Amino acid sequence: MEIKKLNIIITLGFVAIIGILIAQLLWTRQAYNLEDKKFNQTVNIALLEVAEKMSGGKTSFTESPVQNISNDYYVVNINNEFHPAILEHYLKTEFTRFQINTDYVYALYNCHTDQMIYGKYISKHQESPDKAIKFPKHKNLVYYFSIRFPDKTTYLISSLRFWYVLTFALIIILLVYVYSIYTIIQQKKFSELQRDFINNMTHEFKTPLSSILLASEALTKQETVKENPKLQTYTSIITDQSHKLNSHIEKILNIAKNDASGLSLKPQRIVLLPFIQEIVDTIKQKNENLSAQIDIDDTISILADEFHFANIIYNILDNSIKYCETKPSIVISALKDSKGLHLKFKDNGMGIPAKNIPHIFDKFYRVNTKKSDEVNGFGLGLFYVKKIVQQHNWKISVENNSDKGITITLFLPS
């Protein structure tokens, strides 16, 4: 059902953007046509003014002296002899008055030679008299001049810059949308594939693991094993490692479940000092060399899920012990200010290279060191910690100590 809804949303979004893009292209085309029509009208009015001033008001025209022969080519009938210098003066004056700010070139008809005499190329930037532009003769007129606008299309496009920029922006948005949708679909497929793999893998592991645990428990009850210390040791190793492997599998399943729907939290009031002290005492039973100092006021309490918060502390302390090359020493402290509570775990471990710190909370990520090769794990402990911290709306940060080891800080907003 979710995939169907996603496909419908993607299709509707795609159709909407395509529709907007097509509408924008049609509007741009219409705007160009309107601008072209406006330009032709303005040029006609300006050339009419030039024709009237050139004739000196002596000649009355029965029809418009201005003929628009083609898109950028005009012919103006004067019906009287005129001088090129005067024509150029009036052209510049009227075009400036009507704000026609584009290049143009004009030519005059010479009745003695029966050909068009090239006049001048007038540019807003520079004069270019050497440009060869064709001016065909008019069949019926005698005293007339012709004018061309060679850069008319460029001029009209530049006057519609906003429309073209908007169209280009919409095309970019469409491409980004398509790429984003493609990425989302690929990520969704990868996530589903990864989840299926984890579920299948853990299921396949749990079946033989259950058999191993049952067999090892049966072995411990055998009289032969009870009488032989070596066999007891081997059997206890099998049992302990099986439980450890089972713990890893359960952790993978929890992570997969968390990715799918999020873990269910049951927040309750927890007094920090006795809660953390109990966890530390439990860990010390398995790690007698551990030195732990707890510097927390006995009045400080927080609101958290008891089970998952205990797992956060256990994972942090467990990592501090596993990645320590000497006798592990951990200092746990809590500092409360106006913003919230800062719960710090400072150890004397081997530290983390600065380039690896941003990635240590990534799923399946493990820092590549000699010590990490000796430590068993899947790189899920700190990923689990980060997920639980985020679901509590807390923050977690890691930094290397100035002397040795790292400090992990949990920030709990007020």
Res 310: pLDDT:
86
Average pLDDT (331-360) is 87
d(CA 265, CA 340): 21
Answer for the pair 41, 68: CB distance below 8 angstroms, yes or no.
no
Q: For the segment 210-252, what is each residue's pLDDT rounded down to a tens digit? A: 778 788 888 888 888 788 888 888 888 888 778 777 776 776 6
C-alpha closest to that of 234 among 216, 209, 253: 216
Q: Which of 121-125, 227-231, 308-312, 410-414 has the lowest mean pLDDT?
A: 121-125
Q: Which of 37-46, 165-174, 344-353 has the lowest mean pLDDT?
A: 165-174
d(CA 92, CA 103): 11
Res 235: pLDDT:
82
Res 331: pLDDT:
92
Res 318: pLDDT:
86
Higher per-residue confidence, 65 vs 3: 65
Q: For the segment 119-142, what is each residue's pLDDT rounded down to a tens digit? A: 777 776 655 555 556 677 777 777
Answer for the pair 35, 160: CB distance below 8 angstroms, yes or no.
yes
Helices 161-220/2-55 angle, 10° precision? 170
Average pLDDT (102-109) is 82
Phi, psi of 215 (to 5 degrees): -65, -40
Confidence check: pLDDT of 334 > 80: yes
Higher per-residue confidence, 270 vs 287: 270
Q: For the segment 165-224, what is each residue's pLDDT rounded down to a tens digit? A: 877 887 888 788 778 877 877 777 777 777 777 667 666 777 777 778 788 888 888 888
247 token code pair: 């713990």
Secondary structure (DSSP) of 210-271 = HHHHHHHHHHHTSHHHHH-HHHHHHHHHHHHHHHHHHHHHHHHHHHHHHHHH-PPP-EEEEE
215 token code pair: 């067999």
Confidence check: pLDDT of 3 > 70: no
Which pLDDT band holds residue 395 (cuts at 50, 70, 90)? very high
d(CA 413, CA 93): 73
Res 410: pLDDT:
92
Confidence check: pLDDT of 261 > 60: no
Res 338: pLDDT:
86
* % of the chain exceeding 70 in pLDDT: 84
311 token code pair: 């797992």
Res 118: pLDDT:
66
298-317 in b/e form (b: 16+ CB < 10 A) is eeeebebbeebbbbbbbbbb
Higher per-residue confidence, 108 vs 376: 108
- DSSP state at residue 53: H
Q: For the segment 45-90, what is each residue's pLDDT rounded down to a tens digit? A: 888 888 888 776 665 566 778 888 888 888 888 877 777 888 888 8
Res 345: pLDDT:
92
Sign of the Cα torsion 78, 82, 86, 87 reads positive
CATH number at 267-413: 3.30.565.10
Confidence check: pLDDT of 344 > 90: yes
Which pLDDT band holds residue 1 (cuts at 50, 70, 90)? very low
d(CA 364, CA 383): 8
If one counts every other C-beta atom within 10 angstroms of the C-beta of residue 105, the result is 21
49 token code pair: 């003014």
The burial class, CB within 10 Å (0-12 / 13-18 / 19+), for 32 is middle
How far is CA 69 from each of CA 36, 74, 138, 285, rounded to the nearest angstrom?
Answer: 15, 6, 10, 102
237 token code pair: 């190793």
d(CA 121, CA 136): 17
How far is CA 334 from each of CA 170, 269, 297, 385, 414, rounded to the nearest angstrom?
Answer: 52, 16, 8, 18, 14
d(CA 407, CA 347): 6
Res 20: pLDDT:
79
414 token code pair: 């007020």
Answer for the pair 247, 376: CB distance below 8 angstroms, yes or no.
no
Q: Which of 33-37, 76-80, 256-260, 271-275 has the lowest mean pLDDT?
A: 256-260
* % of the chain exceeding 90 in pLDDT: 8
Average pLDDT, the chain: 79
